[in-house]
Amino acid sequence: MRLGARIIKTGIAVTLSLYLATLFKMEPVIFAALAAVLAIQPSLYRSWQNVLEQLQANVIGAVLAVSFTYLLGNEPIVVGLVVVIIIAINLQLGFERSIPLAIVTVIAIMEWSEGSFLLFALDRFLLILLGIGSAVIVNAAFLPPKYEERLYHELNKANYDILSYLRSSTLDELNDRKYREEVKRIKDLLKKIDQLYSLYKEERTYFRKVTYTKQRKLVLFRKMIQANQKGFALLQSIEKHKTKLAYVPPDLKALLQKEIDILTNYHERILLKYERKLRPHHPHVIPTDVVSGRDQVLTQFMALYKENQEKQDEDWIHLFPLFAQLIDYADTLKRLDKLVESYYSFHEA
């Protein structure tokens, strides 16, 4: 069982909200705890960003709850109607993330049974605000997670999986059932990487030099993500067209496999350069191999396509996207290689 930073922060926020609600003798404390759970965010930046939205959504919820209770009472059907209206208003305002908390506010206020309704509503609204405040305090006090390290770790993991499958893709060695499971896992991993990139991008920096360095690194990481996506797209295209690839002449198939091997090795070497395990500006022949191998593959493919076009065989046209993705992947790697070298030129200057 893994306990991530957000899980721990949620537990601390709930504890703090319960203690504060008890200290100020506000009941029931469960509403403060619920608000803390719903208001917790993965980063301090998102926490501050959402405070205003949450406050607006909850003020709207409180006003509607009080108005409808005065006008129509607090029967279950009225509560349901207010919830529907709150959801519609929040969607219209673009406050989708604050909908659950606004609904909690409505239910908390509209469960009134006796005593002064306005005092009851104010007490419940303050309970919700206490929970939100607890979440903000915890986000501000808790050490922010190192999104850069996590992002690169996940990038490396995705890279290893994609390149491993790419190397075997044209050899018809993949277990179809296992491959489908792995494709789903890799897609989920790529989504997670995009989320981590967004969180890393949102992290605030307070020194000019650090900000400039981070901006360069963001460009670099975005290109790394693109390289993984291009490699994965090529892998899926090869698997999609594997039936047609079975009829490709052996010499063209061998060239295709050779070019994929060159590209996967090139991709690995670029990451090793980024990690400073290779000298950043060390001359190597891989970029030249990429270009010459690509040209040979395309020359043979076009010759084969023209030959089959004369025979009025249109099946070969469906292989065009595969070879286009091969070129796209190669071009992305070349740009990534230049970015890595440029990045270290800046740092070593």
pLDDT at 31: 84
Contact 150, 221 (CB under 8 A): no
Residue 169: HSE in the Cβ half-sphere, 13 Å Cα cutoff:
30
Band the pLDDT of 88: cuts 50, 70, 90: very high
pLDDT at 343: 81
Contact 284, 333 (CB under 8 A): no
Residue count of the chain: 349
Q: What angle do CA 170, 176, 180 make, to 5 degrees?
A: 105
286's tokens: 């891989």
pLDDT in tens, 112-165: 767 677 888 888 888 888 888 888 888 777 766 677 888 889 999 999 989 988
Average pLDDT over residues 157-182: 79
Backbone Cα Rg of the chain: 28
Report the range of poorest mean pLDDT among 172-181, 250-259, 278-287, 317-326.
278-287
pLDDT at 349: 46
More confident position, 285 or 342: 342
Q: What angle do CA 8, 10, 15 make, to 5 degrees?
A: 95
Please determine, for residue 273, whether its predicted confidence score (pLDDT) is greater than 80. Answer: yes
193's tokens: 């990487």
287's tokens: 């970029």
Q: How far is CA 61 from the centre of its chain?
A: 31
Report the range of poorest mean pLDDT among 69-73, 187-191, 246-250, 336-340.
246-250
In terms of C-beta density within 10 A (0-12 exposed, 13-18 middle, 19 or more buried), how is residue 330 classed? buried
CA distances from 61 to 50, 80, 85, 124, 146 (A): 16, 13, 9, 12, 36
pLDDT in tens, 15-61: 988 898 888 888 888 888 888 888 887 666 666 667 778 888 888 88
Report the range of poorest mean pLDDT among 206-210, 223-227, 274-278.
206-210
**Is this prediction's pTM over 0.75?**
no
**What residue type is 329 in one-letter code?**
Y
* Alpha helices (H) in the chain, listed in sequence order: 5-23, 30-39, 44-72, 76-93, 99-110, 117-141, 147-169, 176-202, 208-240, 242-245, 250-274, 286-310, 320-348
Contact 278, 218 (CB under 8 A): no
Q: Is cis: bond before 28, omega within 30 of 0?
A: yes
Distance, CA of 245 to CA of 239 (rounded, Å): 9
160's tokens: 């290893």
Cα separation of the two ends of the chain: 45
Residue 134: HSE in the Cβ half-sphere, 13 Å Cα cutoff:
28
More confident position, 285 or 269: 269
pLDDT at 285: 52
Spatial neighbors of 242 by CB under 8 A, at least 6 apart, are 172
pLDDT at 168: 79
**Dihedral through CA 231, CA 232, CA 235, CA 237, nearest 10?**
-110
Please determine, for residue 318, whether its predicted confidence score (pLDDT) is greater than 90. Answer: no
CA distances from 254 to 245, 251, 300 (A): 11, 5, 11
Q: What does the DSSP assignment read for 26-65?
A: -S-THHHHHHHHHH--SSHHHHHHHHHHHHHHHHHHHHHH
Distance, CA of 295 to CA of 283 (rounded, Å): 21
Distance, CA of 236 to CA of 169 (rounded, Å): 9
Please determine, for residue 206, whether its predicted confidence score (pLDDT) is greater than 60. Answer: no
